[in-house]
Structure 1
Amino acid sequence: MIITTAGRSPSKLVMKAKKLSTSYGLSYKERGGVSIESLKEQYQDDIVVVGKERLYIAPLYDESNLFFHPNLAMIRAKRMFKGDEDPLISTAKLTEGMSFLDCTLGLASDSIITSIAVGSSGSVMGVEGNPLLYLLAKEGLSSFSSGNHLFDQAMRRIEVFHSDHLSLLQQTKSDSFDVVYFDPMFHSTIDSSSGMNSIRGQAVKSELTKEVIKEAMRVARERVVLKDHWKSDRFAQFGFTQHKRKTSLFHYGTIELN
């Protein structure tokens, strides 16, 4: 990836871009009035652009930019704050003080909701293998302002790691988290983004396997949770009890460990 700044950026943004280039091991390039499309053509790479209001990614093979915004999570959170039940929280049986490992973080929509549920006494860790999504999630969770203090604090509490989930699980001690979670498909709201689809092709090929599920069962104390299309054969393939939801294209599955 190449990192640069928005056009005519002040020195403060240049400093921020250079700092991020060091943190993420990216190559920093002066913008110099050159268009983003020209930079993509010149370097044949995805471009991370540091702007005044937000950071975004211009994928090499797509004209649509990709940026962090917890759209769906904010809608779900508003319902939770009103006392409504969230399907993931009820399926995972998450309560305050519990720990949650999200093995397919993406742009962290589910992790934000679980962070709200477990509260400041709990913990949420997210793992993302795609370097572009990892950068967006890590920076977005640490800086995005929703205008809701509880929501923002939930975002800030999430720990984000760049790794494939099998490697991380293998390096994690047994019974380290109450719940281990997999959402191997992108959310439908994200799927509609052509920018996301272009990055999807570069995603780390971390398909669920029996070895992955076995490691997840070792790491989890209470249960392993899978979110997948209602027609998916992975529920039966890996021994999940499928919790059917008549009005949803996505179902949750659980493997109870106690």
Structure 2
Amino acid sequence: MIITTAGRSQSELVSQAKRLSHSYGLPYLERNGAPIERLKRQYQEDIVVVGKERLFISPLQGEEKLFFHPNLAMVRAKRVFKGEEEPLISTAKLKEGMSFLDCTLGLASDSIIASIAVGASGSITGIEGNQLLYFLAREGLASFVSGNDFFNQAMRRINVIHNDHYSFLLGAETGSFDVVYFDPMFHTGINTSTGINVIRKQALTTNISVDVINEAKRVARKRVVIKDHWKSERFDQLGFTQHKRKTSLFHYGTIELTLKKR
């Protein structure tokens, strides 16, 4: 990726772009009024554009602008704040103070809900293998401002790590998280919106295999949770108990574990 600024470069935007360039080890490019499409053709790279209101990424392959927005997480959070049931929270049995590892972070919708559930005394770690999505999620969670302080705080508490989930699990200590979570729906899901499909193309599609789940079972203290299409064969193949929901096209699955000593 290459980092530049929107439109005419203002000093504050240049400073922010250079900060990001340094933080992520990415080259900074003076915009000098050049169209983004021309920069993509010239450098054959995804372009990060730092704007006054927000930053976005223009992928090399595609015309859609990619930017962070919590979207459905905000709708789900409103229901949680009203005391309504949230399927992820109830299925994963998330409570105040628990630790949650999201192995397929994407743009962090599920991690935000988990963060609300476990609160300030809990911890949320999100793993994202694709550099573009990692960048969007990490910067977006740190800077997006909603109209709800509890929601903002939940986003800020998420620790975003750039890695593939299998490598991370292999290096994690036994019983180091209460819940380990997978959402392959992010890669092969039913949402047909153009924006989601563009983002999905950028996802790192590491297969969720028996070996991956075995490592997840070692790392999790309480349970491993998966979200998948209701017709998916993964539930049976990987040993999950499928929790059926009549009105939903996706279901959760769980593997309950005996308590491990730290």
Q: How many residues align?
A: 258
Q: For the residues of structure 1 that align with 2:70 and 2:166, how far apart are their CA atoms? A: 26
1:117 maps to a residue whose letter is A
Q: For the residues of structure 2 that align with 1:59 and 1:241, how far apart are their CA atoms? A: 38
Q: What corresponds to 1:205 in structure 2?
A: 205
2:217 maps to a residue whose letter is M
Q: What corresponds to 1:37 in structure 2?
A: 37
Alpha-carbon shift at residue 41 of structure 1 (Å): 1.1
Instruction: Show CA shifts across 1:73-126 (max 9, x none).
Output: 000000000000100000000011111000000000000000000000111110
Change (3 A) 1:205 1:189: closer
Instruction: Normalising by structure 1, report the TM-score.
Output: 0.96
Alignment of 1:30-69 (within 5 A): 30-69=30-69
Q: For the residues of structure 2 that align with 1:228 and 1:123, how far apart are their CA atoms? A: 24
Instruction: Show CA shifts across 1:160-215 (max 9, x none).
Output: 00000000011110000100000012189994343543453343231101110000
Change (3 A) 1:20 1:193: farther
Q: For the residues of structure 2 that align with 1:189 and 1:152, how far apart are their CA atoms? A: 27
Q: For the residues of structure 1 that align with 2:189 and 2:225, how far apart are their CA atoms? A: 21
Instruction: Normalising by structure 2, report the TM-score.
Output: 0.95
Alpha-carbon shift at residue 44 of structure 1 (Å): 1.4
Q: Which moved more, 1:71-80 or 1:199-208?
A: 199-208
> Match of 1:255, SS?
strand
1:105 maps to a residue whose letter is L
Q: What corresponds to 1:72 in structure 2?
A: 72
2:54 maps to a residue whose letter is R
> Match of 2:20, SS?
helix
Structure 1: which 5+ residue stretches go unaligned?
none
Change (3 A) 1:25 1:192: farther
Structure 2: which 5+ residue stretches go unaligned?
none
Q: What corresponds to 1:251 in structure 2?
A: 251
Q: What corresponds to 2:215 in structure 1?
A: 215
Q: What corresponds to 1:231 in structure 2?
A: 231
Q: What corresponds to 2:242 in structure 1?
A: 242
Instruction: Show CA shifts across 1:119-160 (max 9, x none).
Output: 001111100001000000000000100010000000001100
Alpha-carbon shift at residue 60 of structure 1 (Å): 1.2
